[in-house]
Amino acid sequence: MLTYSFENIDTESMYEHLYRCIKQDILQKKLKSGEKLPSKRTFAKNLGVSTITVESAYAQLVAEGYLYTLPKRGYYVCELEKGEAPAQPRPKPVLPRQQPRPTYWADFVSSSVARDMFPFSIWVKLLRDVTAREDETTLLTDTSAGGIRQLRQAISEHLYQFRGMTIDPEQIVVGAGTEYLYSVLIQLLGRNHGYAVEDPGYLRLSKIYEKNDVRTYHIPMDASGIQPDLLEESGAEILHITPSHHFPTGIVMPVSRRYEFLSWASKGENRYIIEDDYDCEFRLAGRPIPTLQSIDVMEKVIYINTFSKSLAPAFRISYLVLPKHLVTRFYDTLGFYSGTVSCLEQMTLARFLSEGYFEKHINRMRNHYRGLRDQFLGAIQKSPLARRVKISEENAGLHFLMELDTQRSDKEILQRAEAEGLRLSFVSQYYFRQEERQAHVLVMNYSGLEEGRITEAVARLCRAILPAPEEPGL
């Protein structure tokens, strides 16, 4: 089996390093013409890298003519002297067709906003004002990598009023969605560090880190969040957490655990905490939970938030708050990037924030979601489900947990729900370590539930979860 070392590769990505090593072996004839290379999965396991790393290296070698593929047989070394692979026509690639998204009678997984809840008239008015009054050259010019000054100032004032954070606008970086900003942080902090994430947790985050070829550690949690001793043992230097409202368990991290993590971060020059505050606006009982960033005196916390939850998923506008000493590094190393959100959208959002419309919108949405949640929980309590479920974590964010008293597997319930037109998810689906998963706990995201469908939604849940009359043992 081929093997290569990935030590001391400096700034070179892992797939580039692997590509260069294989190419060198082909040129030096250590790999002979027609020789078959290991399968992507086997090779990745042997090297201790991700399959995407091997796949990217192979794809580049095929593109440059060092390798060729045979359908269902694998990758082979080309005959370089003849300049081509053995005479066999390559099959024409078949482009995958994008599958339409399935539609559900009720979706308890995806986040969405009721169409009549978004203030379209106000947004359109502000958009027209910006278009009419702002300088045309400014509107048509590329924005800086950090975003326009007006929006960063408005976000700074919002954070002070709503989250008690004293932030200089220069610390704020605006980007097209949190997924883009995750990639920015990887480039800023470096791929040579280990990144720790919560287990269970937001699986898309793990995939983004893994696709960016960074070492990712899935750290188990207890009732207060990630376990500090396991974090220390992992060797990770970057910690990505959701302390104000963990997804999917709904845990709010106590202040004692927060100080433990700040202490952990202070022990290493390259240690940082990414605080993901993704739905902080929708705490439905009590005051908002103070941020980890607001108690950080060592400049070790990078705060990230999005307007996709508070406005609508289609608004791909998110932002970072960098420690002051990282601002210079950001502009020195990544300042060549153009802004990823249009100037027109940024200016409109800046007006929406600074003129008080955002606060009014959030208050209206909070009242709407509180009423929706109460109706939904009330319907559950009046249904046959009441004696078979336990509700928890219903006061923060837009989902709650529903623990089931059942002998059916999570998979079977998901299948039965699908047949009823319901989309559900279990906490067990968000674990990386499957042996530690907690079964029979549903994650109920009610943000897209329509009031007129609550009664029927609960009836369908009953049919999906509860045993039929001929199944008394379940």
Instruction: Return the CATH number at 416.
Output: 3.90.1150.10
Looking at the chain, the whole-number percentage of residues with pLDDT higher than 70 is: 93
User: Cβ distance 181 to 173 under 8 Å?
Assistant: yes
**Mean of pLDDT values over 389-411:** 88
Query: Does residue 449 sit within a domain?
Result: yes
Of 288, 281, 283, 261, nearest in space to 272 by CA: 261
> Tokens 């790393």 map to which residue?
53
How many domains does the chain fold into? 3
* pLDDT at residue 84 greater than cutoff 70: no
Please, what is the average pLDDT of the chain? Answer: 88
* pLDDT at residue 113 greater than cutoff 90: no
Q: Hey, is 401 helix, strand or coil? A: strand
Instruction: Return the CATH number at 351.
Output: 3.40.640.10
* pLDDT at residue 214 greater than cutoff 80: yes
* pLDDT at residue 274 greater than cutoff 60: yes
Alpha carbons 342 and 176: distance in angstroms, whole number? 9
Alpha carbons 240 and 363: distance in angstroms, whole number? 29
Domain end, chosen from 303, 336, 357, is at 357
**Mean of pLDDT values over 374-403:** 90
Pair 331, 365 in one domain? no
Pair 371, 353 in one domain? no
Q: Per residue in 407-445, pLDDT tens?
A: 889 999 999 999 999 999 999 999 988 776 778 999 999
Provide φ and ψ at 175, rounded to 5°.
-150, 165
pLDDT number for residue 394? 83
pLDDT number for residue 327? 97
Provide φ and ψ at 403, rounded to 5°.
-80, 130
87: pLDDT confidence band, cut at 50, 70 and 90? Answer: very low
* pLDDT at residue 288 greater than cutoff 80: no
pLDDT number for residue 338? 87
Alpha carbons 292 and 286: distance in angstroms, whole number? 18
Pair 245, 282 in one domain? yes
pLDDT number for residue 289? 74
Query: Does residue 323 sit within a domain?
Result: yes
pLDDT number for residue 239? 98
Pair 349, 396 in one domain? no
Alpha carbons 29 and 454: distance in angstroms, whole number? 68
Q: Per residue in 319-340, pLDDT tens?
A: 999 999 999 999 999 999 988 9
Domain end, chosen from 47, 62, 95, is at 95
Pair 408, 265 in one domain? no
**Mean of pLDDT values over 128-147:** 82
User: Cβ distance 450 to 115 under 8 Å?
Assistant: no
Pair 152, 198 in one domain? yes
Domain end, chosen from 357, 380, 408, is at 357
Q: Other C-beta atoms within 10 Å of 99: how many?
A: 6
Query: Does residue 331 sit within a domain?
Result: yes
Pair 158, 269 in one domain? yes
pLDDT number for residue 283? 65
> Tokens 């929706």 map to which residue?
372
Pair 137, 282 in one domain? yes
Pair 147, 253 in one domain? yes
| More confident position, 168 or 102 | 168
Query: Does residue 101 sit within a domain?
Result: no
Instruction: Return the CATH number at 6.
Output: 1.10.10.10
Structure tokens at 416: 């039965």
Pair 39, 170 in one domain? no
Alpha carbons 69 and 75: distance in angstroms, whole number? 5
Pair 318, 377 in one domain? no
User: Cβ distance 207 to 51 under 8 Å?
Assistant: no
Query: Does residue 248 sit within a domain?
Result: yes
Q: What is the pTM of this model?
A: 0.76
pLDDT number for residue 71? 85
Query: Does residue 260 sit within a domain?
Result: yes
pLDDT number for residue 286? 58
pLDDT number for residue 241? 96
Query: Does residue 474 sit within a domain?
Result: no
Pair 264, 238 in one domain? yes
Query: Does residue 100 sit within a domain?
Result: no
Of 422, 369, 423, nearest in space to 399 by CA: 369
Show the domain range for 186.
118-357
